[in-house]
Copies of this chain bind each other. A is one copy, B any other.
Amino acid sequence: MKISELSRLTGASVRSLRHYEEQGLLTPRRLDNGYREYHDLAVEQVRTIRFYLKLGLTTAQISGFLHCVMKNKEAFCEEVLPVYKKKLRELNEQIELLTAIRSNLEERIRSIHDERSALQGFDEK
């Protein structure tokens, strides 16, 4: 199939498909006119790529184990777990940071409300 059909079947934009190829995640053969020609299996492969992207992995990380997971159960591919664990550590850090900022912000919003109702109370007297 050609690129627009793969795009339609997977939901990935044509631009994204070309990008995945640049990053080494897809390697379609070329027709005589230079058009990309994809195997049927590419549909599953693109879905797999997008699945890992949604987990927050980069194309570079995905390329490290994509071939393995296309042929085996994920648990068989040694490269997967370290990447998952690294990503998990990053997520925990980010969540912790954002949560701290949120607390800070909530406290400041509260104190603005408090100060205003104090002024309000003062005016009312």
Interface, chain A (partner B; CB < 8 A): 54-56, 73-75, 80-81, 84-85, 87-88, 91-92, 94-95, 98-99, 101-102, 104-106, 108-109, 111-112, 115-116, 119
Contact = CB atoms under 8 A, between A and B. Distances in A.
Which DSSP category, helix, strand, loop or mixed, fits chain A's interface?
Answer: helix
Contact of A75 (B55, B95, B115): B115
Contacts of A74: 108, 112, 115
A119 B75 CA distance: 10
Number of copies: 2
8 contacts: A55-B105, A73-B115, A74-B108, A74-B112, A75-B111, A75-B119, A95-B99, A98-B98
